Chains A and B, each alone.
Chain A
């Protein structure tokens, strides 16, 4: 059965229709308050002194001149905040201000609170710091080669943060079954989120001993926990209010030093304290795309059947752990979600370097391996003389199945997606048939709709919603979810309006306030629509049930005949007979007392039972297929992308305008990573960011953005609210490989790394002209000793999802 079957539900009034966002009017009029827009009486301002060396011991800090500078209230140092923190419990390796040692250029060393920003800035110049330089590590290779000095005192050994080895079935058996084996080495450069809003926070500490932090975080709940821990406050005394984020893309998920610093300063001074980072500082916060070197060895048969894949990744983690352990898993765990892979081995290593820490950026750890896999699929098709679209379609993971690594796939609409972009782009008439310099390329992807497990171990809901109905007929939705531009506030209003038969704009939405709203884990992993949506449906259905009982008694109409629509509750067999929604709330409040309901959502248990099986499972997987059209100038190596066709298997669209907006934004970000965005550093010893500025960190402007043709492939996934799946990350993933594949179609060279800059294209073209391999990309995958793999028999082999002692099949 094909779940994403293109059927449309006809019974919906709000869902699936275009609506404005609930915050649209305030955003287009400048009324929305972002963190830096908040001002309080007696507010102090903070600036942070940051390390000027990439790796060093702090020998001395003299703050005396700064402390006596007029207008300075407090100078804060690392020793004032000794408790470490970090996004993941397994790598709490950060301090708000360095203690004894700095690990990157830009590491926070001291903070000043002063009466205004100018005074704070001037005071920073008066702080004298003496460093003893340590050798700096600037690359994956250097981290592998340099065990001492260690950047951190924890991790596997030397400067290796994390190693993971999983084997699902014996890959050697799979390779023995293959007609062909190929190994491709690829590299995906790091990039940053570049959200327009610079990080900003304001903290206030009351005489009641309670702290409030307004901040542009995507994950107020996790920040709440970190703040309480580091500041040694009871969690119930900490309130985090996530202000509307001026863009996130994963860059505002970690708890940040500056958030803790202003909180501590507010506690020390008793005054509100604000910070707004400069753009340069935002580059140092980073937490963006990991640079990943990959080796993908794949065994396949003449028809493209994949008998085995051995996928290895090496991640440049930067100076801290952050979400890095999760990122490391994600460089491999979702590979088997698109095409059937009979046996799969995945090895990953994350190293520490003296650079800004990497973490979750749109697609979190998966764009890199998807790039590796999808350009290899193109090469396999070429080698087998098969059409790459047809070959992919033949080997799709079926709906309602288990992947080789125990991920449960629900609806799977990739086949339909491929059909749409193939048809729309006129693929069959153009692929390998365009004149030299012009080309088209195809790539596909799958992505999660929400992570199956939370960041810290617990069995509570991932999303909670409270609903209040009052006798004005007013409905208020309370939910901890965070609006980062994706429309999460609006989704709540649309869903509650659908269930209660009212207009979305009748509803008030209160979100992202740890005091007022029930927990939602945060705006990451494309989880919000699915999880808050399901919780909202449950809360609204419970409220509806109370209204049904009250109205049924009043009208003497059986409960199952009552219909909620057009702000009325009425007898569906006699629509004239009914009450207004406001009257229905009166009746319910009269019958039951004050009306409030709750809803919760927790993802289903994952089928995998081995250690590490918590990363990868999701309630639903979305699928995307893209065709990119390119024009390559063989004289300059410049690549232009005039057009991209994208089909996305979204389940049920909650609001098509917003879904298309997410898809267009994903294509844009993929285009930037494919062609120009790179987070790179100068020099081996100094390790200075090359261009921590908006101007020189190249991102696509209106002039580089391509035309986009989007197809929404709709259906209903049983785990999604009204059948919805994600749209905010998945469609980014096929863009870089589709462009790389199109470049091969255009000029016959393989660019096996991103960004695909003109110099790389030109070098490959020139090499080819000289009779050498027409390719640019890494050729060596460095060795790293790996532990024994966690060996898990595949579902096809009759495994039960648990790891077993390895039984070598091949003697």
Chain B
């Protein structure tokens, strides 16, 4: 991080850092009090990362820093020098969606879609640690992410389906999760 200077009106000048975002090297300058959330959205135009409270309470803004989920509204941008950040924009490989994204789309696990990026990234870390998690392990991993639309059920089912597909199993949504119980 470069030293800050004072502007005429007493405001500090911009900080400048180098980091990697979604696999690409990035150099960015911003007011040093900015959070990672603000740097991503406002200075790097990565608006896929959302915010619901900006106080670390809702999980919307979760991104990955060096592969671990971080609430970007609670992380200072200047602390990211040299780190690797993954946002929802970095989940798909080219035109190919990540299995979690496919599963969320198939099962309607994204209704309004606003909490979805945070859920996807948090679930991605879970599957990296536990490739085929139990329902309880999924609930535990996603407990910090609030969703007001889905009641979480389709999200759990989507994580399970993605996990199965990533394990090479031909997983399709169950009849019950599509049509209900007969």
Residues of chain A at the chain B interface (Cβ within 8 Å): 18, 20-21, 23-34, 36-37, 39, 70-71, 118, 193-198, 244-249, 278-279, 424, 484-487, 656-658, 660-661, 663-669, 671, 693-695, 699, 701-703, 705, 708-712
Contact = CB atoms under 8 A, between A and B. Distances in A.
A702 B54 contact: no
Given A25-B97, A28-B97, A703-B143, A661 B31 contact: no
A197 B52 contact: yes
Nearest to B112: A485
27 contacts: A21-B105, A24-B108, A28-B113, A30-B87, A30-B88, A31-B48, A37-B47, A118-B11, A193-B148, A195-B114, A195-B148, A196-B58, A196-B146, A246-B50, A246-B52, A656-B178, A664-B154, A669-B151, A694-B52, A694-B57, A699-B146, A701-B146, A702-B152, A703-B143, A705-B151, A705-B153, A710-B180
Interface of B: 9, 11, 31, 41-42, 45-55, 57-58, 60, 87-89, 91-92, 97, 101, 104-108, 110-117, 120, 138-140, 142-154, 156, 173, 177-182
Of all A-B residue pairs in the complex, the 7 with the closest CB atoms, nearest first, are: A30-B48, A485-B112, A668-B151, A246-B114, A27-B113, A694-B57, A30-B88
Contacts of B178: 18, 656-657, 660
Contact of A29 (B88, B151, B181): B88
B47 A30 contact: yes
A631 to B, nearest CB: 17
A667 B151 contact: yes
Nearest to A658: B108
A70 B7 CA distance: 12
Contacts of A424: 181
Contact of B153 (A33, A196, A249, A708): A708
Nearest to A18: B178
B97 A29 contact: yes
Nearest to B8: A70
**Interface majority SS on A: helix, strand, loop or mixed?**
loop
B117 A30 contact: yes
A665 B180 contact: no
Contacts of A24: 104-105, 108, 110
B151 A665 contact: yes
A88 B167 CA distance: 55
A239 B89 CA distance: 31
Contacts of A118: 11, 31
Given A484-B112, A708-B151, A703 B139 contact: yes
Contacts of A701: 143-144, 146
Contacts of A70: 9
Contact of B114 (A18, A34, A668): A34
A661 B152 contact: no
Contacts of A666: 151
A172 B94 CA distance: 72
B110 A27 contact: yes
A81 B94 CA distance: 50
A712 B181 CA distance: 8
B121 to A, nearest CB: 10
Contact of A195 (B49, B87, B110, B112): B112
B150 A27 contact: no
B115 to A, nearest CB: 5
Contacts of B180: 656, 660, 663, 710-712
Contact of B101 (A23, A28, A667): A28
A197 B114 contact: yes
Contacts of A26: 113
Contacts of B113: 23, 26-28, 32, 244, 246, 485
A27 B148 contact: no
Contact of B148 (A21, A247, A657, A711): A247
A25 B103 CA distance: 11
B181 A711 contact: yes
Nearest to A668: B151
Contacts of B154: 657, 660-661, 664
